[in-house]
Structure 1
Amino acid sequence: MLELTIDESDRLITVAHALASEIRISILKLLNYQKMNIIEIAEKLDLPVSTIASNIKVLEVSGLINTELQPATRGKMKVCSRNFDDIYMLLNLNIRHNDPKNCYELEMPIGHYVDCEITPTCGIINQNGVVQPEDDTSLFYHPERISAQLIWLRQGFLEYRFPVSISGNAKIESVQFSMELCSEAPHYDHNWPSDITVWINGKEICTWTCPGDFGDRRGKLNPTWLRDNHTQYGLLKNWKIDNTGSYLDAVKVSSVTLSDIEIHKQKFLILKVGVKSNAVNVGGINLFGKGFGDHNQDILMRIIYS
């Protein structure tokens, strides 16, 4: 199930736009039964492949479907699958005031990592422009990295430590992380899959295959000086760990639970995001902070407790 609140206006608009089309609704109906490639969908709906491809992109950006490239007779084909069976839109602004649970939130600037392992292509952008020289891994240890608003790397990881300032008697019900990210291709390429892995307190939560590096339009927050042929925006992804398992955008992705990450063992949580050297798709990461991409946030941690 995908759960959206009115506070997540950007995501709500993106999903609503994706659903506001008879063609896209028909595509979702077809994917209710099986995975299909774009040509198969076009044949079923008796529509041009180009029309289906453009509508698939809208559904991809919304997160309603997932696509992966698979070998075909000639080159590769994009195979589509549906991510959610249900979508729940919570439009009541006052609902949180009626919730007895407490919420501890902390937003971590993307340049405030405590450890990293970087393989070029790589770089950092802040409010003044691209930190020079590009593809120099030593920049990732320079004090200027603290001001980063966009970070990219081809392989490796970034590691962050989030302080947990809640009572030791609190009963933690879930830990959530949210960030905007995409693959890292030369310039940009929407068909550039990357296997991006997330770890919490050393436990591997899941590996998500990002479909590409997005640059078909300018990011909503990007400064005017950012060149058009550069990565423009990512997808806002949400990871949650509770007592039943781990979830990505409300879909269960692993059996790792709160007890596995030993959240009460120390007064901070360690978040690590990266691309393994032995991943099937070593397609890099672009990680967006405030002022870049489509979502005006850094890495957001939310702990729900009672």
Structure 2
Amino acid sequence: MNDFKQELIRYPAARITEVAKALSGDLRVRILETLGDMPMGVSQLAEALGVAQPTMTINIQILEQAGLVVSSPGANREKICYVTCKSILLELPVKTGDGLHRIEQIHMPIGMYSRSIVRPTCGMAGHDGVLIGSIDDPRAFYMPERTDASLLWFSGAGCLEYLFANPIPPGVPLDELRLTAELCSEAPSFDMNRQSDISLYMNDMPVGTWRSPGDFGDRKGKLTPDRWFSGTEYGALTEWKVTKDGGYVNGIRATGTTLGDLSLDYSEPIRVRLEVGKEAEFQGGLNLLGSGFGDHPQDIVMSFVRSIDRQ
């Protein structure tokens, strides 16, 4: 007997796309049919439906993310899968923004910048730790392979600019706009005491400046490839945010820039610039780490936090 199964699960409008995706694949519908009232292991499901086990695992994960299937450990650590309900109820959106989550996120690969101003020392490396282009050659920052970068760096003053789509429709109020990234200063090899003032701008408005305490290379980064032995190993996960009353860096108010000052437009991208300014007190460059380097499995993440009270 399936102890996990409920009679009905109600899904809010914000989860329609997620559930629809899970149900849109013929194989995933067949998985639900096969499970029925009888839990099965992943290998049993793969054999019953005649598909490779890795394919089955991926499709089970999609059903789990939608809440249609749950799993528990069985013999030999194999996942035993269960259907969660007999019926689902989808609530349709009735007003603008109902189909959005409370927090909408955009994950930007670090190599997808729209503009760069860099000088040596500078360079990029892919997720495997292999250099992209030539080290200390700013031309590498305009090579197509830059989109695969998991680490990039420049010394002194410079900047990287990114364009983020705005997923929030007109009339839907925001509480916060956040950006998080893993980064640190830049020095030849590494220097734990090299400070750098790294500033963030949104639509050319200053959000705040984080003073990086150093270029971190005293230990191996948790995600940094084994073949990487060129200095910087990890960064500090840093958060900038803009609210209705100002700009913040790691929770500390830094500027008076508000959400209203950003002039957000649904049809226009949000320009985000990471910059070590020419007038900064500490011009120690920066290292920017993506999902395959450092301590944190993420690229640059922009979060749009909607207001709870929408009356």
Question: What runs of 5+ residues in structure 1 fail to find an aligned partner?
Answer: 1-99
Q: What percentage of aligned pairs have identical amino acids?
A: 38
Alpha-carbon distance in 1 for matches of 2:110, 2:199 = 17
Q: 1:84-103 alignment to 2 at 5 Å?
A: 102-103=102-103
Instruction: Give, as a single letter, the amino acid of the residue that structure 2 aligns with 1:257.
Output: T
Shift, 1:132, TM fit: 3.2
Report the more deviating stretch, 232-241 or 205-214.
Answer: 205-214
Alpha-carbon distance in 2 for matches of 1:244, 1:150 = 34
Higher relative strand content: 1
Helix, strand or coil at the partner of 2:119: strand
Equivalent position to 2:224, from 222, 239, 252 = 222
Helix, strand or coil at the partner of 1:144: helix
User: In 2, are the aligned partners of 1:165 and 1:267 still within 8 Å (CA)?
Assistant: no
User: In 1, are the aligned partners of 2:169 and 2:266 still within 8 Å (CA)?
Assistant: no
Shift, 1:159, TM fit: 0.3
TM-score, L = length of structure 1: 0.65
Helix, strand or coil at the partner of 1:199: strand
Deviations 1:107-134 (A, max 9, x none): 0000000111111110000034012310
Q: 1:40-189 alignment to 2 at 5 Å?
A: 102-128=102-128, 129-154=130-155, 155-189=157-191
Question: What runs of 5+ residues in structure 2 fail to find an aligned partner?
Answer: 1-99
Shift, 1:237, TM fit: 0.4
Shift, 1:256, TM fit: 0.6
User: In 1, are the aligned partners of 2:176 and 2:305 still within 8 Å (CA)?
Assistant: yes
Alpha-carbon distance in 2 for matches of 1:167, 1:207 = 29
Alpha-carbon distance in 2 for matches of 1:104, 1:268 = 15
Q: Which has the larger radius of gyration?
A: 2
Instruction: Give, as a single letter, the amino acid of the residue that structure 2 aligns with 1:143.
Output: P
Shift, 1:101, TM fit: 7.3
Alpha-carbon distance in 1 for matches of 2:111, 2:266 = 26
Alpha-carbon distance in 2 for matches of 1:104, 1:250 = 20
Helix, strand or coil at the partner of 2:183: strand
Helix, strand or coil at the partner of 1:140: helix
Aligned residues: 206
User: In 1, are the aligned partners of 2:176 and 2:259 still within 8 Å (CA)?
Assistant: yes
Deviations 1:261-287 (A, max 9, x none): 111374321110011122211100000
Shift, 1:209, TM fit: 1.2
What is the aligned partner in structure 1 of residue 276 from structure 2? 275
Helix, strand or coil at the partner of 2:168: coil
Deviations 1:8-66 (A, max 9, x none): xxxxxxxxxxxxxxxxxxxxxxxxxxxxxxxxxxxxxxxxxxxxxxxxxxxxxxxxxxx
Alpha-carbon distance in 2 for matches of 1:117, 1:132 = 17
What is the aligned partner in structure 2 of residue 68 from structure 1? none
Alpha-carbon distance in 1 for matches of 2:291, 2:186 = 19
Instruction: Give, as a single letter, the amino acid of the residue that structure 1 aligns with 2:110.
Output: I
Q: Structure 1 pair 187/167, CA: closer, same or farther in 2 (3 Å)?
A: same
User: In 2, are the aligned partners of 1:124 and 1:149 still within 8 Å (CA)?
Assistant: yes
What is the aligned partner in structure 2 of residue 197 from structure 1? 199
RMSD: 1.5
Alpha-carbon distance in 2 for matches of 1:114, 1:262 = 20
User: In 2, are the aligned partners of 1:120 and 1:153 still within 8 Å (CA)?
Assistant: yes
Alpha-carbon distance in 1 for matches of 2:266, 2:101 = 22
Helix, strand or coil at the partner of 2:120: strand
Helix, strand or coil at the partner of 1:264: coil
User: In 2, are the aligned partners of 1:113 and 1:159 still within 8 Å (CA)?
Assistant: yes
Alpha-carbon distance in 2 for matches of 1:206, 1:244 = 13
Deviations 1:227-256 (A, max 9, x none): 1x5100000001110101111111111111
User: In 2, are the aligned partners of 1:195 and 1:210 still within 8 Å (CA)?
Assistant: yes
Alpha-carbon distance in 2 for matches of 1:267, 1:174 = 18
Instruction: Give, as a single letter, the amino acid of the residue that structure 1 aligns with 2:112.
Output: H
Helix, strand or coil at the partner of 1:197: strand
Alpha-carbon distance in 1 for matches of 2:290, 2:254 = 25
Q: Structure 1 pair 259/219, CA: closer, same or farther in 2 (3 Å)?
A: same
Alpha-carbon distance in 1 for matches of 2:215, 2:127 = 21
User: In 2, are the aligned partners of 1:160 and 1:270 still within 8 Å (CA)?
Assistant: yes
Instruction: Give, as a single letter, the amino acid of the residue that structure 1 aligns with 2:205.
Output: K
User: In 1, are the aligned partners of 2:276 and 2:285 still within 8 Å (CA)?
Assistant: yes
